[in-house]
A and B are shown apart, each in its own frame.
Chain A
Amino acid sequence: MRARLAALLSAVLVAGCGWSGSDAATTATGGGGTIEYWLWDSGQQPGYQKCADAFAKANPGLSVHISQYGWDTYWSKLTAGFIADTAPDVFTDHLAKFAQFVDLKVLRPLDDLAPTAGINDGDYQEGLAELWKGQDGKRYGSPKDWDTIAMFYNPVSLQKAGIDPATLKDLNWNPQDGGTFEKTIAHLTVDANGVRGDEPGFDKNNVSQYGIGSDGSGGGGWGQTQWSNFAGSAGWQVTDKNPWGTHFNLDQPAFQDTLSWYYGLVRKGYMPSFAEIGGNNPVGPDKQIQSGLAAMAFDGSWKISTFTGLTDTAGKKLEIGIAPTPIGPTGKRASMFNGLADSITSLSKQPENAAKWVAFLGGAECQDIIGESGVVFPARPQGTEKAIAFNRDERKLDVTPFTDQVKDKTTFLFPVTSNAADITALLQPRMDAVYIGDAPVSSLSTVNNQLNDLFKVAQ
């Protein structure tokens, strides 16, 4: 009797383990011929679903299951998946993260798999494909899209201030007096009494509309949507070389002067403070424009569909315009040039199938589908053209402020380094401190030494 009870108990236990085991296995491999694919941008899911359908049609017996998780959840789920063997076969990868994954040996080199071995750098916008090669020279991501930064604005706010939107493309800035850019945002700033930022009697502590919105301190992504275009147009680079820089330039005057001026806009009352945008749970630039908190805001090209989908409180569609980043002390404008790619996990039980899907994602057919869905700029030039045409014809929106940066070669690449998670952990609180006003810009020199030390330890 007792033996039977014990047998029953152990049977239940084994069954329990078996069940969770097989569950994990289906998540990891997707069962028979189903490729698990993850992405974080819900706006892009419909486009990629179309690609997945086309892929399934072209490859009988194979199908793709797409899962979408928000940015923060995405990365923690992915990390947990690597540990628990529940990671997807293919996932959307970010330049800020992929070096760490290469170090952790969780990515499969695409050169080793037949369908992706032939990826050609020249098929994509210049410089994009090279970014995804590791320090070992192997390719870990197949380029899928690219992005640049521009300024979104509310035409109604501009009209009320008597500013012609056509003049925005000629704005310039410098770290001394901020140039015409600062004059413009000062004029667009309105306090609670209706006094503009450049008029006498302006109350900077009681602002109802800021000239320029804020996307936080920028400590987490090298100021991509915050100060990177200013620092870039002042001729500054984050690291000694890119990709794989090992020495940082946060102690250089060009950087510190730029940031001192940039965060100075908060002190002048032209840009919302850290607390006003919600601290570490910030309200994004799109919401700031929507709610009327800001008249203009820098953001990335991946946000075009978000901005153009904004409505007012009555549910009426908001007018949105796009202007390029201002011209800096170098006489040129600048934008960070970043791109996403698809990576294959080393845990995938069906790497060849996964590679087929990755090759399809990077191929002309899928990239054209993505371009026509108008959410991001596909990595292939032809797909990019389709996205421009879609925005022009369907949305009546001129997106050349984003694309001209590439055409005019005024972009600089997203800084790709090792130890990215440590860099963010060290930099984020210190950048926040500067934004809040708790620490001077010069305090970033100390952080710079810490960042450099990270790479001395590693070598």
Chain B
Amino acid sequence: MAATTATPVRKKRPDDTKLAILFIAPALIGFLVFMIWPTLRGIYLSFTKFNLLTPPEFNGLDNYIRMGQDPVFWNSLVVTLYYVVVNIVLQTALALVIAVMMQRLTKRTWLRGIILTPYLVSNVVAALVFLWILDYQLGIGNKVIELIGLDRIAFLADSNWVIPTVALINVWRHVGYTALLIFAGLQTIPETLYEAGRTDGASEITMFRRITLPLLRPILALVLIITVVGSFQVFDTVAVTTRGGPIDSSRVLQFYIYDMAFGRFQFGYASAMSVALLVVLVIITFLQYRLSRAEQSDLA
């Protein structure tokens, strides 16, 4: 406005707001219709008694009070946390090692490509394949264990084994993708720093600790935020391999929510638990973001 009156000589820049809106619209509509609206409706439904087929009835905080007293809910929260810890710690550590090896040891594209292949397999297929491999009676995994001279292990039917097993199946599938993200981060670290390090006679391990890790921090933080959020939402592997069992030992929150909504038609209570999961994820992401100073880089 001020610009147009002050410099009438200069050619008026065309106002492209409308065009911008047009270009943003498809993504924005999708975001509103498929993300914001369901979230708001989910929050609303968490204050109702709703069986999907008859209209919801408002019931105040009943669902949240029930959640506080539901031992299965608290157990599923603990089980989910256990899963996330095993899954994320192993996955991140392995991915870091693979990424560093990809950068420092090999430049071959096909080798880097192979690392990503498990990620191309769908979760359900990966779970089914491992279900067969780890089968107690016929699985080749257990045959190998017997050949070594150990006792067969009921990987997916023993309370102590299910969560580590499910976590490892998902590590297998996701580690390549995580490694690729970290690898991209490694590429941003200037080679000159390593040259300087080598000149000073630093070993690979020292350079990893003193150069790679500190400079990788913002990327690592981003990777952790993405993978932790994804890990909390574990569902398909459990649905295929254990269906929450034995007893409640792999009844992760997402599976409990699904069963409550679509198995037991208690959509209101299931929505309340989804809101609880949302709150947990918001808090964890916020903490991760702050603690890892993800918005600052030491490279500057």
**A interface list, Cβ under 8 A from B:** 2, 5-6, 76, 79-80, 82-83, 100, 104-106, 274-276, 278-281, 283, 291, 293, 421-422, 425, 429-430, 432-433, 436, 438
Contact = CB atoms under 8 A, between A and B. Distances in A.
Contact of A425 (B22, B136, B264): B264
A283 B156 CA distance: 13
B245 A105 contact: no
B248 A105 contact: no
Contacts of B241: 281
A429 B256 CA distance: 12
B137 A283 contact: yes
A278 B264 contact: no
B265 A278 contact: no
Contact of A278 (B22, B136, B244): B136
Nearest to A279: B157
Interface string B244-269: 11111001000000010011110000
Interface in B116-166: 131, 135-137, 154, 156-159
Interface stretch (B46-54, B85-93, B171-179, B199-207): B46-54
B136 A432 contact: no
B22 A6 contact: yes
Contacts of B170: none
B243 interface: yes
B237 interface: no
B18 interface: yes
Contacts of A83: 52-53
A421 B262 CA distance: 10
A167 B159 CA distance: 40
A278 B54 CA distance: 38
B155 to A, nearest CB: 9
Nearest to A288: B137
Given A279-B154, A421-B265, 11 more contacts: A274-B157, A275-B136, A276-B136, A280-B242, A281-B241, A283-B137, A293-B137, A429-B245, A429-B247, A436-B246, A438-B159
A280 B246 contact: yes
Query: Most chain-B CB neighbours within 10 Å: which of A79, A280, A438?
Result: A280
Given A6-B22, A429-B248, A281 B156 contact: yes
27 contacts: A2-B19, A2-B22, A6-B22, A79-B52, A79-B262, A79-B265, A82-B52, A83-B52, A104-B265, A274-B157, A275-B136, A275-B158, A275-B246, A276-B137, A276-B154, A278-B157, A279-B157, A279-B242, A279-B246, A280-B242, A281-B241, A281-B242, A291-B137, A293-B137, A429-B244, A429-B247, A432-B246
Query: Most chain-B CB neighbours within 10 Å: which of A83, A279, A291?
Result: A279
Query: Most chain-A CB neighbours within 10 Å: which of B19, B131, B157?
Result: B157
Interface in B1-47: 18-19, 22
Interface string B99-113: 000000000000000
Nearest to B156: A279
Contacts of A278: 135-137, 156-157
Contact of A432 (B156, B247, B259, B263): B247
Nearest to B29: A13
A106 B22 contact: no
A337 B244 CA distance: 30
Interface string B172-201: 000000000000000000000000000000
Contacts of B18: 2
A430 B51 CA distance: 25
A104 B53 contact: yes
A254 B188 CA distance: 72
A6 B21 CA distance: 12
Contacts of A106: 53
Interface magnitude class on chain B: 20 to 34
Contact of A76 (B53, B243, B244, B262): B262
Contacts of A2: 18-19, 22
B146 to A, nearest CB: 12
Interface of B: 18-19, 22, 51-54, 131, 135-137, 154, 156-159, 241-248, 251, 259, 262-265
Nearest to B251: A429
A280 B264 CA distance: 19
A281 B248 contact: no
B116 to A, nearest CB: 29
A267 B54 CA distance: 47
Query: Most chain-B CB neighbours within 10 Å: which of A82, A278, A438?
Result: A278
A280 B243 contact: yes
B263 A425 contact: yes
Contact of B244 (A280, A421, A436, A438): A280
Contacts of B156: 278-281
A432 B52 contact: no
Contact of A104 (B51, B135, B159, B245): B51
Contacts of B131: 281
A422 B270 CA distance: 13
Nearest to A280: B245
Query: Most chain-B CB neighbours within 10 Å: which of A6, A76, A433?
Result: A433
A276 B136 CA distance: 6
A113 B51 CA distance: 27
Contacts of A6: 22
B51 to A, nearest CB: 6
Given A280-B245, A429-B245, A432-B247, A104 B259 contact: no
B189 to A, nearest CB: 44
Given A274-B246, A279-B246, A105 B137 contact: no
A438 B249 CA distance: 12
Contact of B247 (A79, A105, A291, A438): A438
Contacts of B265: 79, 100, 104, 421
B161 to A, nearest CB: 9
B237 to A, nearest CB: 13
Contacts of B22: 2, 5-6
Given A293-B137, A432-B246, A432-B247, A422 B262 contact: no
Contacts of A104: 51-54, 265
B248 to A, nearest CB: 5
B264 A422 contact: yes
Contacts of A76: 262
Query: Most chain-B CB neighbours within 10 Å: which of A6, A100, A421?
Result: A421
B250 to A, nearest CB: 9
A100 B54 CA distance: 13
A62 to B, nearest CB: 28
